[in-house]
Amino acid sequence: MRFVLSVRTFENARMNIGKVIRALRTERGDSLEKLAFDVGTDASNLSRIERGLQQPSEEILKAIASALHSSVAELYALAEGRRLAAGSEVHPDDLARDAVQMRKYFRSLTPEYQKLALEIVKTLVRTQAKG
């Protein structure tokens, strides 16, 4: 049973790898054409990968990970819904355009402003829960 679950998890990760690639590319502010150039493939091929219509070859996946300053293992971890280093869960909504944009803005803040932003969000959540 454990093997069946791990195979199913792997297949789900393969299906989500394109979403992860797109989210990371967008977060970096790279265009499809720029990443494709950096990887050594054409934009239409990368687009098919991002949309889940095509699985990347091992060589292309390694090149994509490298261009995104990541590793193949981290891309699969994100696609499986987890992070390698922190061990925190990644919800599918975390790959949505707004969430990617929010992460990008958050990372551009100084550590002091990051703490302030977290406090503001916590306050919003508490206020919403009361209403």
pLDDT in tens, 33-53: 999 999 999 999 999 999 989
The conformation of residue 14, written as its DSSP 8-state character, comes to: H
For residue 6, pLDDT beyond 60: no
In the chain, % of residues over pLDDT 90? 36
Highest mean pLDDT among 12-21, 73-82, 100-109, 111-120: 111-120
What is the CATH T-level fold of the domain 2-95, as seen in this structure? 434 Repressor (Amino-terminal Domain) (1.10.260)
Residue found under tokens 């302030």: 116
Q: How far, in Å, CA of 79 to CA of 2, rounded?
A: 19
Which residue intervals of the chain bear CATH 1.10.260.40? 2-95
The radius of gyration of the chain's CA atoms, rounded to the nearest angstrom, is 17
* Of residues 78, 83, 75, 21, the one with CA closest to residue 52: 21
Task: Please tell me the predicted confidence (pLDDT) of residue 70.
Answer: 86
